[in-house]
Amino acid sequence: MVELVRTESLRRYFAAEKLGLLEKLAGRKQRYIKAVDDVNVVLNKNETTALVGESGSGKTTLGRMLATLDTPTSGKIFYSGVELNEDALESVRHKVQIVFQNPYESLDPRMSIRQIIEEALTRYGGDDRAGRVKEVLEAVGLNYSDIHYRKARDLSGGQRQRVAVARAMAANPEFIVLDEPTSALDASVQSQVLNLLVQLKKQYGYTYLFITHNMMVARYISDRIYIMYAGKVVEAGLSEEVFTDPFHPYTKLLMESVPSLEPTARLEAMKGEAPSLLNPPPGCRFSPRCPYAFDRCFKEEPRLHLVGQRLVACHLFEDRER
Amino acid sequence: MNILKKALGFRDDVDAVRSAKGENLSTWYYLLHKKQAVVGIAIIAMFLVWSTVEGIMQLLGGYARDPSLGWLLLPHNPISSPSLTTSLLPPSLRYPMGTNFEGQDIFSRLLYAAPKDAFAAFVVVLSAVALGSILGIVAGYYGGWMDEILMRITDAFLAFPGLVLAIALSVLIGPGFSSVLIALTVIWWPVYARLFRGQTLTLKYRGFVEISRLFGVSEAKVLFRHIFMNALDPVIAYMALDFGTVILTYSTLAFLGIGIQPPYPEWGSMASNGLSFFPSAWWYTFFPSLTILLVVIGFILFGDSFQDVISGRVID
Amino acid sequence: MTASLSIRDLTVYYKTPLGLVQVLDGLTADFEQGETVAVVGESGSGKSTMGFAITRLLPPTGVVEGSILFEGQDLVSMPQKKLRDVRGTGIFMVMQDPFSSLNPVKKVGLQLLEAVQIRMERRGEHFDYGSASKEVLKRLYDVKLPDPAIIMTKYPYQLSGGQIQRVVIAMGLLLEPKIIIADEPTSALDVSIQAQVIALLKELQQQYGMTLIFITHDLAVANVVSDKVLILYAGRLMEFGDKRGIIQKPMHPYTQGLLKSFPSGSYREKELYSLPGMPPSFFSLPVGCKFSDRCPYAFDRCFKEEPGILDVEGRAVRCFLYGGARKNRVA
């Protein structure tokens, strides 16, 4: 297991409203939306790490920072052991790629498919660009001659997403961030795209960060999983283990909220709503909704620590062996 | 018809269902089906084709030092020496729109003056777009203090009543065609700066713009290819309308005596001169005004329909 | 049990500049009082069109044929004036985008009071502001919205998607409709909110005995929500019957394919099953059975004729594998 990407105390705060000069003089404090708050993740080479959470969990923001599209407010990102700062950025950028959720928004509507892929090859010499474009389009199961001259609006959602994957592959990245790549697709197309991603990873040795809110997909595709809630990581471990034996109350309740095809399936709904990121609750952010919350939970924020092979941030597990 | 459709890129099945669901088909498809757009396009086409042909003739005339090339295609010499005998004649077969005080054929003069209006419209709008797009896109993309400064400058220009500013500028720069064009461009670009800035603010967060950073695409290329080209769609609709507005403004300035000097004809100044003879020699002011009206309406009809189609479409 | 809604041969066309496009064809189904039926289909299956057809809210380019029997009257031939009386208190629709269901410039409380007013007027009751307000508060409380009194003073943009969806459900309850059609009401919501909304709908449905038609693309959601499932493909009913039966022993090859493609297990164990090809465009539907080009069991007849709806052990299936009925084309 070789580590590829690691973060240390990563934070991303967004200014809630821009303060005018007068307000600043009056002593009004700038408020922040704490989208990602003190997060440590480790992504291993040639593994698929799933980042699971609901809206407001910070998973997309974290994904964007790892894809170098956004700069952290504080904390560090390490890529292959090298710290990601201004200088290292350019050299890392050509090893990282991203596939977005919305296939309708991530392709330039004015460009032909060929041009879209070619753009990915900007850094590469003109020599066999055409060949490479053909190669990646066929690798994702699209027919070059049928498709290369078309515009994005002529393609179906599944096809557009394949183009997005082909584009991500074109420049030979090491690490691909996939932000809900199948959420906007139909069930039958979703399977096709998931199979494709698995096959490509095997063939080209990619490392994936797979961001999703869909538990079943996360379970299927990932080796390791991080569960996020309100800007923090609450649980992390091997996917199979986390799914069969969730530790954190949020993870447990989340699993129970997911509809399944079992005949006796029943949904257990969590009470309440996700907390405000401007003013998170004191102590554990999940405490207002947690059925197991006790005194300490409302006062002290639990730290993420190792319990066996699992990382959990919950006071219920604090006494267990390290 | 089918070949035409294919050439314009229609896809029957996709289009049919999308159209049924209320989505918009290819722009041209809609335009060609809308009566008002077709009328507008017809007027504009006639205007532009004629202006190009006549404009070339006038240019050639200039090079060959033979100005008569400019009126080769016209029924009469538009800048013939004043003659009392032909002065203020009503419309007839010989002089379809009558003659002016100097005895010159109004119809020929209108035709002779057309290229300048077309030229003015294009130069002003395209310069305004060029200038406005650069400023607007830079402001929108980089934000921060650059945005603030650029927008305050834009606001300053917008605060002035356009016509007043144009008149002041023309007087400052001096008489002549180019001074009018410069003046008009100066009052025209702020609107485009705003338009482009607005578009940029949305576009800069789109997936394909963000991802180009990972490809190492140069910023200039991103700004041009992704932002500018995509921002153009809704702006083009506005531009179509704008051509007409420029012609109207230009004619208004000419009416007020700014711009082209006599003896060269100009639609606006012709309408102005003709007023003194209204209503007895009604044709003198009527036909120039009508021409201005028709051409501007042509642009409005086209631009309006275009805008309708585009605005529904931008969402896709 | 008398059916509260009966659809017979429902066919919907759209008028396009290039001719008529048929989107729904020969839809026949009964919805019993108090039942929840999940209408399952992927995008382009015509499921939203079905919802709009029943509530007669199609755009002017839509043409409806067949019959929709509600309380003994045919909605297809009903004039718009009478239809307005049916909508809201007879049939209520919750739409996919939570924000498009409410008026953005009116406060939420006002809109809910209007709903009560409509209901009372239709029943010839006298509208009393005080008691109506109490009812609205009660319903907001029923849908588990915190601080109902405060919610009433808010505008839609001040609420989250999940909250809006619950407000719309509250509105539905205030209208006390016989039938609620919910078009992907939870697709835009988080998993945990989805679970809350689903639990809510079921609870209220059981309490008030409404018929719930739940349109979704997610079979798992259909599984936890419904009593019966209707599978829609290319605008046609492919299978319809008891939920447990359909999910445990699907008959139609499309249903089987859908169930098999559901992600389960891990990629290390197996590849996900995926149906080959794509759903067809309505303008170029295959001749014969509309699923024939993707069906692993298709045989000769499937490509030439379209199967009619058969009744096999209480299940409605449109497939020649189960017998020979040929579809009678209406148009």
HEC profile of C175-240: HCCCEEEEECCCCCCCHHHHHHHHHHHHHHHHHHCCEEEEEECCHHHHHHHCCEEEEEECCEEEEE
> Quick one: pLDDT band at residue B31, thresholds 50, 70, 90?
low
Whether residue B175 has pLDDT greater than 80? no
pLDDT for the residue A52: 95
Mean pLDDT, chain A, as a whole number? 89
Whether B127 and B7 share a structural domain: no
Whether residue B1 has pLDDT greater than 80? no
Q: How is residue A1 annotated by DSSP?
A: -
Expressed as residue numbers, the domain containing C168 is 55-216
Q: How far is CA A61 from CA A72, A211, B167, B209, C148, in A?
A: 9, 10, 53, 17, 32
- The verdict on A146 touching C (C-beta cutoff 8 Å) is no
Domain presence at residue C151 = yes
List, in sequence order, every residue forming a beta bridge with C326; answer none if it has no partner. C307
What contacts B211, CB < 8 A, 6 or more positions away?
A97, A98, A100, A106, A167
pLDDT for the residue A124: 77
Domain presence at residue B183 = yes
Q: Closest Cα of chain A to B102: distance in Å?
A: 54
Domain presence at residue C270 = no
The DSSP-derived string for C265-313 is S-TTT-PPP--SS-PPPTTSPPSSSTTGGG-TT--HHHHHS-B--EEET
C40 vs C261: CA distance, rounded Å: 14
pLDDT for the residue B257: 79
pLDDT for the residue A161: 92
Q: Which residues of C touch B33 (CB under 8 A)?
A: 17
Domain presence at residue B176 = yes
Whether residue B315 has pLDDT greater than 50? no
Whether B117 and B176 share a structural domain: yes
What's the rounded mean pLDDT across residues C61-83? 90
The CATH code of the domain that includes B154 is 1.10.3720.10
pLDDT for the residue A75: 93
Of the candidates B16, B22, B25, the beta carbon closest to that of C283 is on B16
Please indicate whether, in this complex, the C-beta atoms of C59 and B17 are within 8 angstroms of each other: no
> Quick one: pLDDT band at residue B13, thresholds 50, 70, 90?
very low
Whether B145 and B209 share a structural domain: yes
Q: Please give the backbone phi and psi of residue C18, each rounded to the nearest 5 degrees, phi first.
A: -105, 20
Please indicate whether, in this complex, the C-beta atoms of C18 and B21 are within 8 angstroms of each other: no
Strand locations in C58-165, DSSP E?
62-70, 73-74, 91-94
Q: Closest Cα of chain C to B20: distance in Å?
A: 5
Give the pLDDT confidence of B217-255 residue by residue, as tens digits: 888 999 999 999 999 888 887 888 888 889 888 888 888
Expressed as residue numbers, the domain containing B20 is 2-33
Give the pLDDT confidence of B93-151 residue by residue, as tens digits: 888 888 888 888 889 889 988 998 899 899 999 999 999 999 999 999 998 889 999 99
Q: Which long-range contacts (CB under 8 A, 24 or more apart) does B67-70 make?
A: B70/B112
Half-sphere exposure of A44 (CA within 13 A, CB side): 10
Give the pLDDT confidence of B48-82 residue by residue, as tens digits: 999 999 889 888 888 888 877 778 888 888 888 88
A113 vs A161: CA distance, rounded Å: 12
Token reading at B151:
């927008």
Whether B304 and B164 share a structural domain: yes
* ipTM rounded to 2 decimals: 0.83
Whether B131 and B243 share a structural domain: yes
Q: Please give the backbone phi and psi of residue A273, each rounded to the nearest 5 degrees, phi first.
A: -135, 170
Q: Please give the backbone phi and psi of residue C288, each rounded to the nearest 5 degrees, phi first.
A: 80, -145
B212 vs B204: CA distance, rounded Å: 11
Task: Check: CB of residue C250 under 8 Å from CB of residue C321.
Answer: no
Whether B26 and B49 share a structural domain: no
| Nearest 10 degrees: Cα torsion B92, B93, B95, B96 | 80
Angle at C307 between CA C304 and CA C312, to 5 degrees: 150
Name the neighbours of C, counting chains with at least 3 Cβ pairs within 8 A. A, B
Q: What size, in residues, is chain B?
A: 316
Report which of residues B286 and B15 the model is more confident about.
B286
Whether B20 and B100 share a structural domain: no
Whether B15 and B157 share a structural domain: no
Task: Tell me which residue of C70, C64, C24 sits closest to C47, measured CA to CA.
Answer: C24
Task: Check: CB of residue B283 under 8 Å from CB of residue B97.
Answer: yes
Give the pLDDT confidence of C173-211 residue by residue, as tens digits: 888 888 999 998 888 778 888 888 888 888 878 888 889
Whether residue A26 has pLDDT greater than 90? no
Domain presence at residue C77 = yes
Whether residue B8 has pLDDT greater than 50? no
Half-sphere exposure of B35 (CA within 13 A, CB side): 0
The DSSP-derived string for C28-69 is EEEEETT-EEEEE--TTSSHHHHHHHHTT---TTEEEEEEEE
**Token pair 């992927």 is at which residue?**
C42
Whether B183 and B244 share a structural domain: yes
Please indicate whether, in this complex, the C-beta atoms of C14 and B13 are within 8 angstroms of each other: no
The CATH code of the domain that includes C111 is 3.40.50.300
Rounded to two decimals, what is the model's pTM? 0.84
Mean pLDDT, chain B, as a whole number? 83
Mutation pick from C267, C271, C275, C294 vs chain A, by most beta carbons of A within 10 Å, is C267
**Token pair 């349109």 is at which residue?**
C215
Whether B177 and B273 share a structural domain: yes
Whether residue A238 has pLDDT greater than 90? yes
Domain presence at residue C235 = no
Whether residue C84 has pLDDT greater than 80? yes
Domain presence at residue B89 = no
Please indicate whether, in this complex, the C-beta atoms of A270 and C196 are within 8 angstroms of each other: yes
Domain presence at residue C185 = yes
- The verdict on B14 touching C (C-beta cutoff 8 Å) is yes
Report which of residues C254 and B167 the model is more confident about.
C254
Token reading at B28:
């041209």
Domain presence at residue B156 = yes
Please indicate whether, in this complex, the C-beta atoms of C21 and B33 are within 8 angstroms of each other: no
Q: How far is CA C186 from CA B105, C64, C163, in A?
A: 73, 28, 11
- Peptide bond preceding A181: is omega within 30 degrees of 0, i.e. cis? no
Task: Check: CB of residue C255 under 8 Å from CB of residue C317.
Answer: no
Please indicate whether, in this complex, the C-beta atoms of A261 and C261 are within 8 angstroms of each other: no
Of the candidates B17, B19, B25, the beta carbon closest to that of C281 is on B17
Whether residue A229 has pLDDT greater than 90? yes
Please indicate whether, in this complex, the C-beta atoms of C199 and A186 are within 8 angstroms of each other: no
Domain presence at residue B98 = yes
Token reading at A265:
């399936």
Whether residue C135 has pLDDT greater than 80? yes
Whether B260 and B203 share a structural domain: yes
Q: Which residues of A touch B206 (CB under 8 A)?
A: 105-106
Whether B44 and B164 share a structural domain: yes
Task: Check: CB of residue C178 under 8 Å from CB of residue C116.
Answer: no
Domain presence at residue B199 = yes
> Quick one: pLDDT band at residue A125, thresholds 50, 70, 90?
low
What's the rounded mean pLDDT across residues C244-273? 92
Domain presence at residue B86 = no
Q: Closest Cα of chain A to C294: distance in Å?
A: 11
The DSSP-derived string for A128-168 is THHHHHHHHHHHTT--HHHHTT-BGGGS-HHHHHHHHHHHH
List, in sequence order, every residue forming a beta bridge with C38; answer none if it has no partner. C214, C229
Domain presence at residue B87 = no
Number of domains present in the structure of chain C: 1
What's the rounded mean pLDDT across residues A182-194? 86
Number of domains present in the structure of chain B: 2
